[in-house]
């Protein structure tokens, strides 16, 4: 399993430089060693919540560390993790290491078969493939892939962006590589491209590129339950393999084997935020 995401968290916790377009920590209002009333900028977020959201430690660990004098905020030692800090500007040092705080995290997972796209299920979920920090940061899959579908799944804790990217009104493009059980002829291709009845709903126009009569790529802008399986079923064939290769501006990283994940690059993150505007 590729470890870059965990290392990303390690960097964030231990002062690495990797950032992202999220909010960083600014050096402002630094008051050295004068104690809580001077160092705490106020406003925003409790220190223990900040540290747990940054996946540095749990809230109870934060409380212990503060009591032991192991946390400074803007140069001043704090004795309680209940203090409010401004996450945008506070410089927090935990056991001598600068904390990098970022409000949202975005991960690209190459989903394997056998995992449910959910945070909570009886069987294994895609969250089981990610470090525990992701659940702590309240990350969730942006949309669903069927249990037997593989490929690009975005996992984030940016609920607003996820909601907008999934909104049918936004027509975000999703491309899937497919294999089917019997040939797709010109007639079937045309029908799929212009829209077919998938049971009480006519699918929106789709783009199809065939590599062979039984395989190719389909791009859709909708996300109905079993959408692509139902579309191909409507023209008399069945999907045997389905892999999502792109989602909006994101393309599945070919370097990720199934089950592997990585954080989005700054460019990918910026493109995603733009697509969600
Ligand atoms: N369409 C499907 O049928 N299944 C998926 O997982 C995604 C799109």
Rounded Cα distance, 27 and 228, in Å:
50
Mutating to test ligand 1, I would choose from 218, 228, 232, 237 the residue with most ligand atoms within 8 A of its C-beta, which is 228
Other CB atoms within a 10 A radius of the CB of residue 60 amount to: 11
- Residue 119 lies in domain: 106-275
- Domain membership of residue 65 (yes or no) is yes
Q: Are the CB atoms for 148 and 112 separated by under 8 Å?
A: no
How high is the pLDDT of residue 217?
98
Number of Cβ within a 10 Å radius of residue 254: 8
Q: Assess whether the C-beta atom of 227 lies below 6 angstroms from ligand 1.
A: yes
Do 55 and 119 fall into the same domain?
no
If you take atom 3 of ligand 1, which residue's CA is the nearest one? 226
pLDDT for position 5: 45
Give the residue carrying structure tokens 């935990």.
94
If asked whether residues 63 and 145 sit together in one domain, one would say no
C-beta of residue 45 within 8 angstroms of C-beta of residue 84: yes
SS3 134: helix
Task: Say if ligand 1 is within 6 A of residue 206 CB.
Answer: no
pLDDT value of residue 55 = 79
5 domain residue, yes or no = no
Same domain, 199 and 243: yes
Q: Is residue 213 part of a domain?
A: yes
Report the pLDDT value the prediction gives residue 165, as an integer from 0 to 100: 97
pTM across the whole model: 0.78
Please state the φ and ψ torsions of residue 66, each to the nearest 5 degrees: -65, -45
Q: Are residues 80 and 134 in the same domain?
A: no
Pairing of strands 239-247, 150-156: parallel
Q: Is 189 in the pocket of ligand 1 (CB under 6 A)?
A: no
* Residue 185 DSSP one-character state: -
- CA of 139 from ligand 1 middle (Å) equals 22
- Is there a single domain that holds both residue 125 and residue 71? no
HSE of 108, CA atoms in CB hemisphere, 13 A: 24
pLDDT for 41 equals: 53
Residues with pLDDT less than 50, the chain: 1-38
CA pair distance 148, 244, nearest whole angstrom:
11
Per-residue model confidence (pLDDT) at position 264: 97
């Amino acid at each position: 399993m590729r470890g870059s995401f965990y290392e990303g968290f390690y960097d964030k916790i231990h002062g690495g430089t990797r950032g992202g377009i999220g909010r960083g920590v600014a050096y402002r209002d630094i008051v050295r060693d004068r104690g809580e009333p001077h160092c705490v900028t106020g406003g925003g977020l409790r220190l223990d919540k900040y540290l747990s959201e940054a996946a540095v430690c749990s809230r109870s660990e934060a409380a212990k560390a503060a009591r032991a004098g192991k946390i400074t905020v803007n140069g001043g030692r704090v004795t309680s993790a209940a203090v409010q800090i401004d996450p945008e500007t506070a410089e927090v040092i935990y056991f001598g290491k600068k904390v990098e705080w970022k409000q949202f995290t975005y991960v690209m997972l190459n989903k394997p078969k056998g995992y449910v796209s959910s945070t909570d299920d009886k069987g294994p979920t895609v969250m089981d493939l990610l470090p525990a920090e992701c659940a702590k940061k309240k990350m969730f899959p942006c949309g669903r892939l069927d249990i037997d579908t593989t490929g690009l799944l975005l996992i984030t804790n940016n609920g607003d962006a996820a909601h907008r990217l999934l909104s049918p009104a936004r027509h975000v493009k999703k491309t899937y590589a497919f294999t089917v059980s019997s040939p797709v002829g010109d007639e079937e291709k045309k029908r799929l491209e212009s829209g077919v009845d998938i049971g009480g709903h006519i699918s929106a126009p789709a783009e199809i590129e065939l590599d062979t009569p039984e395989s190719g790529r389909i791009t859709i802008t909708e996300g109905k339950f079993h959408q692509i399986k139902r579309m191909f079923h409507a023209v008399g064939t069945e999907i045997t393999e389905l892999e999502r290769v792109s989602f909006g501006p994101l393309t599945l990283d070919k370097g990720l084997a199934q089950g592997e994940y990585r954080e989005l690059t700054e460019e990918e993150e910026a493109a995603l935020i733009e697509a969600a505007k």
